[in-house]
A = this chain, B = another copy of it.
């Protein structure tokens, strides 16, 4: 197959995806649900960060859509905590897309104003290329992945509306250059806030939760 044909096919896929994502976004906005697309590498601590954020929410109801290639380990954890969660298994696909999320929102049927966290597939590359209906992209990076990640996976850092730097409790035991990390991140993204956190200890999550609640309340004020 020619390169041109391959590019046309990818453009068709992206166009259709964006149309459906916009529909989902409008529907969630109408319902007063602020939607956060949570991205990060495998093992970055996406689920444990979502749990820590939810523990620190004071004014809004949380919902979760859990994206995994296989398994429902994280959904079991979230459900045990009483969080309304719907599981997607992509069966191999490396990112979530808008049609999957449209159907998952139908199944989850969130019935209150609140925040919907969508945990994307653990992958620093592909998820950044696809909108899924979100109001915001939240990127979870970790100190154990090393300080060169913004240089090597620029799109995810460029598109993030906020970045969580997780596993900061391990800082004393590793070589992590925060200045080098921050310099790389800021070259791509001058605006998005950066939160240093530990999902293990809970440190730093009250600020993340407060920031998200303000965004969610802003959505409803703009609408009313």
A interface with B by C-beta (< 8 Å): 1, 5-6, 9, 12-13, 16, 41-43, 68-71, 73, 92, 94, 121-126, 129, 142, 144-146, 148-149, 151-155, 167, 169-170, 173-175, 200
Answer whether A154 and B43 are a contact pair too, CB < 8 Å, given A9-B6, A12-B1, A126-B94: no
A152 touching B94 in the complex, CB below 8 Å, given contacts A1-B13, A173-B173: no
Can you tell how many copies of this chain the complex includes? 2
B92 touches A94 (CB 8 A): no
Known contacts A1-B16, A124-B122, A152 near B42 by CB under 8 Å: yes
8 pairs of residues in contact across A and B, judged by CB atoms under 8 Å: A9-B9, A69-B125, A69-B153, A71-B148, A94-B125, A121-B125, A123-B124, A175-B200
